[in-house]
Amino acid sequence: MSNNTAVLEERRGKSVWLTLNRPEVKNAMNGEMIEALVEAFRRLGADDNTRAIVLAGAGDAFCSGADLAYMMQQAQQQAANQQSGLTLSSLFRTIAECPKPVVARVHGLCFAGATGLVSASDILVASRNVKFGLPEVKRGLIPATISPYVVQAMGVQAARRYFITGETFTAEQAHAMGMVHELCEPAELDARVDAILAELDTCAPLAMAECKKLVRDVSRMDITSDDTHHDVAMRLVKVRSSSEATEGMMAFMQKRKPAWAQ
């Protein structure tokens, strides 16, 4: 286990767990945590020995959002204010575009920027006790850097309400929106995450990376466009001729596990 002050890193089998580690402030994100997460996701995204990444929180909360003391400090100087905004935006983009599947393990509180963390992740597993919220407007702020991911995760209509009211909403409400994939009792949280990781272990690593990119790109495409249909056809052509696809198809026909699932 690597013990960065703000983020703990632990390898468990083929997966790596990144645990937000400022429990005394509900894992509020400061500069150290943000930079540590950006570095970890970039490094692990390029690591052939990592199949998936789990994002979790220490203590009784996943994350309460950005540390307001840190935010106020950055706002005092124009250059620092601009740079910290760009760094924060890069965090959510780095998670969303990480080639490895990212599973968010959410408990307790998930407010403001934390909602961005889980929305940029691929799979969100939440316990029933989670309280979500986008309270930025109650602090004179806006959820700008997280908005591309949160709007996509909860949908435009829900975002219209929760962005401008700052209301808290429950895990059940988030599940109904489609934002939360798996909803469970707190005691079942780790078992649900482990079950998903077991599924990911059976999947081809490069194909999963291509699937992440496929969803991201197709969601922005015009499905009536000839360019779209040519694009997706060529993606199949490229992947189908890969050594990974050859191994996967041969393993299926020979009724054996593919090499990556051994």
Do both 134 and 57 map to the same domain? yes
Q: Last residue of some domain: 201, 222, 247?
A: 201
From 201, 218, 242, the end of a domain falls on 201
What CATH number does the domain containing 120 carry?
3.90.226.10
- Contact status, residue 155 vs residue 178, Cβ threshold 8 Å: yes
Predicted confidence at residue 72, as pLDDT, reads 77
pLDDT at 60 exceeding the cut of 70: yes
User: How does residue 136 score in pLDDT terms, banded at 50, 70 and 90?
Assistant: very high
Structural domain count of the chain: 2
Report the amino acid identity of residue 32.
Answer: E
d(Cα 64, Cα 112) in Å, to the nearest integer?
7
Residue range 128-142: average pLDDT?
95
| Domain co-membership, 115 together with 97 | yes
Rounded mean pLDDT of the chain? 94
Q: Note the pLDDT of residue 3.
A: 53
* pLDDT category of residue 86 using cuts at 50, 70 and 90: confident
- Cα separation, 256 vs 168, in Å, equals 48
Span 157-177, pLDDT tens digits: 999 999 999 999 999 999 999
For residues 70 and 160, state if they share a domain.
Answer: yes
Q: Which residue, chain included where needed, has tokens 């490229």?
A: 238
Domain that holds residue 183: 2-201
Q: Residue 133 above 80 pLDDT?
A: yes
178 pLDDT above the threshold of 80: yes
Nearest to 27 by CA among 125, 114, 87: 114
pLDDT of residue 102: 98
Length of the chain: 262
Instruction: Please check the confidence at residue 50 and state whether its pLDDT lies above 90.
Output: yes
Q: Which amino acid is at 116?
A: G
Stretch 140-158: mean pLDDT, rounded? 95
**Residue where one domain finishes, among candidates 151, 180, 201:** 201
- Both tokens of residue 177? 């929106």
223 and 193 belong to one structural domain: no
Do residues 84 and 16 share a domain?
yes
> Does one domain contain both 119 and 249?
no
Query: Which pLDDT tens digit goes with each residue over 196-209?
Result: 999 999 999 999 99
**Residues contacting 46, CB < 8 A, separation 6+:** 99
Sheet holding 15-20, edge to edge: 2-3, 7-12, 15-20, 52-57, 102-106, 123-127, 182-184
Is there a single domain that holds both residue 230 and residue 138? no
138 and 245 part of one domain: no
Higher-scoring residue by pLDDT: 32, 69:
32
Q: At 253, which CATH number?
A: 1.10.12.10
Same domain, 192 and 215: no
- Mark whether 135 and 215 lie in a shared domain: no
For residue 4, pLDDT over 80 is answered with no
- Is-contact 74 121, C-beta < 8 A? no
Angle, CA of 139, 81 and 55, to the nearest 5°: 70
With beta carbons less than 8 A apart as the criterion, state whether 101 and 212 touch: yes
Q: For position 1, what pLDDT does the model report?
A: 47
Residues 162 and 61 reside in one and the same domain: yes
Dist CA 241 CA 138 (whole Å): 53
Query: Per-residue pLDDT averaged across 68-79, rounded?
Result: 77
What confidence score (pLDDT) does residue 262 get?
A: 83
Q: Give pLDDT, residue 33.
A: 95
Looking at the structure, tell me whether residues 26 and 145 fall in a common domain. Answer: yes
Q: What pLDDT, in 10s, does the model give residues 222-235?
A: 999 999 999 999 99
